[in-house]
Structure formats: structure tokens, C-alpha cells
A and B are shown apart, each in its own frame.
Chain A
């Protein structure tokens, strides 16, 4: 009882599923529990597609969960909650409104009188460092300034809870860092008119730098894999060894394979269609990472956070790549490290044609979907097969977006390996031009 009174938001046994025509539901979030207290910044950290943005929208009341309960200050949430304001990844500023008008929008919606509105907007604009830009239109501003408008617009309504959906991921590194430190400074000084902050991020360092608590999500379906408390006082130092250790630990957490489903190739209980392939992992990236890994200074084994830093990648970009290498058995990841395999090394040393052969072999052995496409093509008299059929089968097991990504990745890999070709106009796989 006490906990319910204390906490601002309480999400219990929340499940979000998209209904499919087949009997299977697409589960995006499964049995998620979360409670937010006053005076803390909490991060939802996870790979893209782990449902963390969905959870944020559920907390904000924009989305109603399929099952489970959301309590806002002890009362059931039904529709967008009062006292919650949101900052968007894409800023979501109205291009036809000036900075001032954008900031006033939330107040206007509440029917605040004009004079009061202007006064409060001025206050928020000055607080967030936008003074002098009141009459500018968003398109005249840089990305950093735009997100400041987004922040001011959220803060001006004095929300109890500030929700931020990857607020800094559309900004360049320097700008993002400035905004983060400005925000944390205001928070530490107690000048932010909010009681609590919940932010979604895929940037591990950002989470450790800003938050008091981190919920790490696992994907497919999204679950809270673990919860960590960040014990460091503000301002935090990224170079502090304890800080680094924590970042390392989280990397290890996020690369850990899920415990059930050991990858046994002989007995496959799951359908070949049930494995989503990472999106935007091209063969150039795969070769590039393998070459980097094999060369100086890593000699075949690298610490993932260090590698991400050296390549200027965010965890969210590096992890799918590492996962792809793992899947193809070109490298293995364990405890935050990545280690090249024997096949991976052969691949690096080979010439183009030999590389294609090695890659094709890896695909046929480790990616059931590729094996299946090729099998269908071999069996057909005209060696053609429609992609629509594979997409539909994939969609029985994953969301349409995932199915699309998976199919696109498979097409890219298969083309490189010269296992099949693909006609985009006709949406057909074929064996044309395949020796």
C-alpha cells in the first residue's frame, strides 16, 4: 500500500501485443513491471525494437496496454495523464509556430490565460537557454536549439513526470553532450520544475551519465532483463574507472545470450521463420568489422565498449553487427568481448571470390531462412519464388517492420554470397545470373 502512495507511476504486469490474423499474437512487451518514485531519473535501456518506446507511450497514456495496469499517483490511467509531458526524438515542433508559440502550446491547451501563458513561457525559455530566440521559427534553429525548444515546451507545463524518448539521439555528439550536462545541472540545482524523469535511450554511457536507475530491456519480446542502480553522485566523470566498469558490465549484460534456446542446429524446434535478422547489417560492415578485429591492435579479440568508442559507434549500432557475426559464427561474443572465430579469420585472409564462398557456406549452415529460400528455388522448375510468401510467413512470427528488415538483410546477404538474385520490381527471388 505504502509503495503505491509513494510512487508516481506504477506499471504492473504490462503486456503489449499486436493481434495477428493467425492465432499467434505479436508480443512487444511481456510482463513488464516498473515503478517510479519522486526525485529520480530512470532510464529504459535496450536495443531498438525492445519495446522501450512502447512502454514510454504506455506510461504517458498515449497507448493503452493490451493487459496489465498503469497507476498514476495511485489512480488508474485512462488516456493522456495530466502532469506528464513528453520530449520527442524528432523534436515534434510545429514548423508554423514560433519558439514562443510552440512553448505556449501546452498551456493554451489547458486554457491558461494569455498573460500568464506569456509569462510562464518566458520563464521556461530563459531557463533552458533559449532567450533571444522567442520569435524564431524552428526551421531557423540548429538541432540542439530545436531540442531545447522541445524541452522548454515540456517543462513549461510544470509536469510531475518528464518523459524523454531518445531525446539526444538525433543530435551530433558535442551538441548532445552539452544538452545532457545542462539538463543534469538544472536537475541537480533543483531548478527543473519536474519531480521525476523517465527516459528511453539506447546509449549506455548516456544512461550511466544521467540516471539514478537503469532498466535494461531484452528484445523479442521486450522484457526487463535487469535493473541497476547507479550509485555515483552528479556531476559524473566518464573517465572514472568505476564509471567505465559499469558501462562494461552493461555491455556484458546486453550481449549475453538469452538462457533458454541453446542454439542446437540438429534439433530445431523453432521454425526457420522465427529468427529476426538484424537490420542494416550489410556485408561491407561485416567484412569491415572482421578486418578491424583481426588487425592491430585487437588481434582477434576486442572489448565491445572500447571498440564502439574507437569506431564512434553507439551500442545500438555495434550490437546488431556483433549479433550478426555471432549468428554466422564468424565471431563470438561473451561478457562484453568479441572474439573472431577460425572461419572469420579465413574470411579476412581470403580474396573476394573465396570470401563469397565462405560467406555462402556460413549462410547456408547458420541462417535457416536462406537455406529455405535456396531450397525452394532449387525445387521450382523455373527457379523463381515470390518474396511475398516468405514475408507473410515471417509476419506470422514477428511484426511487419521486422519481417521487412529481415527480408532486406537476407536479400543483401544472399546477393553478396551469390546464392540467389532478387528482382525488386517483381518481388521475386530467382537463380538468374547465379553460376
Chain B
């Protein structure tokens, strides 16, 4: 009996050791920083209680940053889910050209975030970009208050498509044939088959994509750092960008810690909520 109890811990041990050493140990430092006065050299100068939290929450740009982050997540998650599931359904059946378009759908994942930022910045440049030129538009894209956040969304959604598509594709292809054949015999239509049979059967993957995409969207920072610098006029200032600019860039490590903790709590909260939903709705065979 005793041996049984130790074994799972043995399997967990490697990942736990590294989680603690390289994530939770530095994270504990982040928590300490959030309650302390920290100087520009990163040294603790005293206990601050909740003062840092009060300061951050009272700053006008915090609400803006939180709002923008939530907007990004709120749009990114459903849109990515919709696009990738649609693509996976489209590609599910094996056809002669399958290898070609499957590869096309998945390729965006091979581009690095920073490279993608540079490509998009150049493509969407208001003055010299191909997009405005080709479609005869005069939009400011990343450079105008109205469109900057939407442009960042386009970029991050594009970045996420490849990987999620592959996961959904392998999930769909893995649905046992008997189930589908049975439903076909029952005379179920295309939509019934998709919504009643396929989606429930790939719900484990949906849960995964839902959670990870929310976290990724909330932690998005590269397009803001590389392209927009949180602007114009804070229109793309997200929590993570605030952590960079107001935290690291302005040597305020307490602020960086508070903002990072906010993102952490939001992510964890969302994930736990999703797992409550898992108990009710996710089907594992």
C-alpha cells in the first residue's frame, strides 16, 4: 500500500522540483516585492503593506490596462476556438490535397513572435504597407487609437492558429468510427453530428485550448513591446505591457510584482472556473 502512494509522487518529482526552483521560488520573491518598498536596484527597502496595491489600483492606467487585457482575451479565445475548430472540421476528412492544406493551416506556428511582429508591422504600415495599398485603405492599423488593439488581436490570433488547429485535427480524427457511423444511420444531419457528437467528443481538447489561450492572451506582451509601445494613447497598454513599461522600464519592481500577481490571479481564476465546467460538460471516454 505504501509503495502505491509513493509512486505518483516519484513521477511528479522532476516537474515539481523544477517548478519550485525556477518558478515558485522566484515567484515568492515577486510576492515579497509586492508588499515591500523595492528600490531601482531591486533591493528591499522596507515593508509597504498594501501600499503598493493601493498605488497601482489607483493609477488611471491600471484600469485601462486591465480592460485592454480582458478585451484581448475575450475576443481572442472565442475567435481562435471558432477558427481552429472550423479549420479542423474542414480538414478532418482525408483527401488527396490534405497534406498540403493541413501544412498551410499549421505553418503560422513556426514563426517566432518577434518575427511575426516585424512582418505584421511592415505589412500593416499605414504609409508603405502592402495591406493598405492592396485594399485601397488608409487605415492607421497599429498606429491609430481606434485600430491598434484590433491589429494586435489579428496578430495574436494568427500566431495561435497553427498549434490549436493541429490539436483539434488529431482530436477529430481520433473519434471512433462506430460513433459517427451510428449517427449517420440515425439520419443525423451535418450540424447535429458536429454539435451533438463531434464537439462533445473533442471537449477535452476544447477545455485545453480555452484555458491556455486565455492565459496566453492575458500574458500577451510582444506586439505591444515591439510594435505599439502600448500606444497610441494607451490604446494597447495591457497588464503585461504595464509590467514592462511602468515596472521594469521605470524601475518600479513593486508595481511589476503587483501587476504580474493580478494577471496570475485572473488566469488561475479562469482556469479553475473552466475546471468546474469540466466536471459537468467535458467528456472523457
Q: Do A and B bind each other?
A: no
Chain B positions within 8 Å of A, measured between CB atoms, are none
Tell me the A residues contacting B by CB distance below 8 Å.
none
